[in-house]
Amino acid sequence: MLYPCSILKGHRSKSDQIGVVVAAAGQNQDTGSKVIHIGRDTSSTIISKSISKDGGISTYRGIVDIRASAT
């Protein structure tokens, strides 16, 4: 399982998340990303790539939560 989380509290804070997953025969890769924007003028980039071969399974779940304080 790969599920990084960033909490952006400071003014102009930013987050970059990059994930690469390979699921081969008999594997089930559970991946995702989570970013919570709290501070002002925050930014984030999430890049996720997966390769499934020979019946492997890749599952992605993620969320970008932008709070009211993140104007």
31 phi and psi angles, rounded to 5 deg: -130, 170
69 phi and psi angles, rounded to 5 deg: -75, -15
> What average pLDDT does range 33-57 have in this prediction?
96
Residue 40 to residue 8: CA distance in whole angstroms:
9
The Cα diameter of the chain in Å comes to 46
Q: Grade residue 7 by pLDDT with cuts at 50, 70 and 90.
A: very high
Q: Grade residue 1 by pLDDT with cuts at 50, 70 and 90.
A: confident
Q: Where are the domains of the chain?
A: 5-66
10-22: pLDDT as tens digits: 999 999 999 999 9
